[in-house]
Amino acid sequence: MKSAVFRYLPLVLLAMAWEATARLELVSSSALPPLSEVMVSWIDLVRTGELAGNTGASLYRAGAGLLLAIVIGTALGIGMAWWKPINVLLSPLVEIFYPLPKSALIPVTVIWLGFGNGSKILLIFMGCMIPVTISAFNGARSSEQTLVWSARSMGANRLRMLWDVVLPSAMPELLNGIRTALALSFILLVSSELIVAREGLGYLIGFLGANGSYEAMYAVVMTVSLLGFAADRGYQMLMNRMLRWREQTL
């Protein structure tokens, strides 16, 4: 307990420095409202239900886009590792789309699907699919030949081998790729909502900022940041759990 307090003390100090800077009016209070007032307006936002509604909208978009990216990306990546013709067809496309800064797709998704959920889900799906595909491909390709051979000699057919040998051995790398995709999904979600949206946390930040209610804007910015942090930590715990079988075999 004491060590945790010591460890996170710098964050507390930063928070205190924030409060002090704002209270002593070293900078204008519109540029940096005191932390305590930010917390008060956070509670207000929760009470009016504004925060919950917009958080729901954002999480739905990120979740749907990410889920699609994981399912399709994994299938493509393992397909590329498993069957050469798929690799030959897809790897040039992956190679040219991988370096594309995905935020460039924001205006196009709006042209295609409008201002609502569809354009955000499409954007997150397109942006997150490639890291998942690449990690699934690398993971599946590195599955140990001896495992594949023994499975084959024990009479496993190709499908069974895919499920029992290739997918589990691709798992560590794949889960890492999904972690990258998770971080990317938050970046794309917030940017697209900041630029064009009618609801969602990014929209709320822009809206409150334009109205000059900076305490509330800071409150939403902090909420988004903490959500991103919590999602990553939660995912890491899940990942450790899913990979526990590896420790046991060692």
Partner 1 sequence: MARTDALTLDHAALLEGPAPSLARKLLWGFARVFSILALIVAWEGLARSGAFTPFVLPSLSSVIERIWSDAISGELAINTGLTVYRALVGFLISMVGGVLIGVAMSRNAIANWFFDPIVSVGFPMPKIAFLPVVILWLGVYDVAKITIIVVDAIFPVIAATLIAIRSVERELIWSARNMGANDRELMWQIVLPAAAPQVLTGLQVALPLSMIVAVVAEMLMGGYGLGGAMMTASRFADSRGVFAGIVEIAIVGYVLIKAMSILRRRLLIWHQEANEPTTA
Nearer to partner 1, 3 or 153 (CB): 3
Outline where 142-163 has alpha helix (H): 145-153, 158-161
Nearer to partner 1, 96 or 159 (CB): 96
Q: Are 231 and 182 in contact (CB under 8 A)?
A: yes
Nearer to partner 1, 7 or 244 (CB): 7
Least distance from C-beta 72 to partner 1, angstroms?
17
195 vs 203: CA distance, rounded Å: 8
Instruction: Determine, following the binding rule CB under 8 A, whether residue 91 of this chain makes contact with partner 1.
Output: yes
Site string for partner 1, 106-145 (x = CB under 8 A): xxx-xxx------------------x--xx-xx--x----
Determine which helix (DSSP H) or strand (DSSP E) holds 187, and give its type and residue range.
helix 167-195
Instruction: Determine, following the binding rule CB under 8 A, whether residue 186 of this chain makes contact with partner 1.
Output: yes
Q: Which of 45, 69, 218, 219 binds partner 1 (CB under 8 A)?
A: 218
34 vs 19: CA distance, rounded Å: 5
Q: How many residues bind partner 1 (CB under 8 A)?
A: 72
Instruction: Determine, following the binding rule CB under 8 A, whether residue 20 of this chain makes contact with partner 1.
Output: no
Instruction: Determine, following the binding rule CB under 8 A, whether residue 11 of this chain makes contact with partner 1.
Output: yes
Nearer to partner 1, 64 or 141 (CB): 141
Stretch of 35-43, 150-158, 173-181, 237-245 lying at the interface with partner 1 (CB under 8 A): 173-181
Q: Are 222 and 165 in contact (CB under 8 A)?
A: no
What residues numbered 34-73 form the site for partner 1, per CB under 8 A?
none
Instruction: Determine, following the binding rule CB under 8 A, whether residue 224 of this chain makes contact with partner 1.
Output: yes
Instruction: Determine, following the binding rule CB under 8 A, whether residue 99 of this chain makes contact with partner 1.
Output: yes
Q: Which of 219, 204, 189, 229 is nearest to 60 (CA)?
A: 189
How far is Cα of residue 225 from the mean position of the Cα atoms in its chain? 12
Instruction: Determine, following the binding rule CB under 8 A, whether residue 226 of this chain makes contact with partner 1.
Output: yes
Sign of the torsion angle spanned by Cα atoms 57, 58, 61, 66? negative
150 vs 169: CA distance, rounded Å: 14
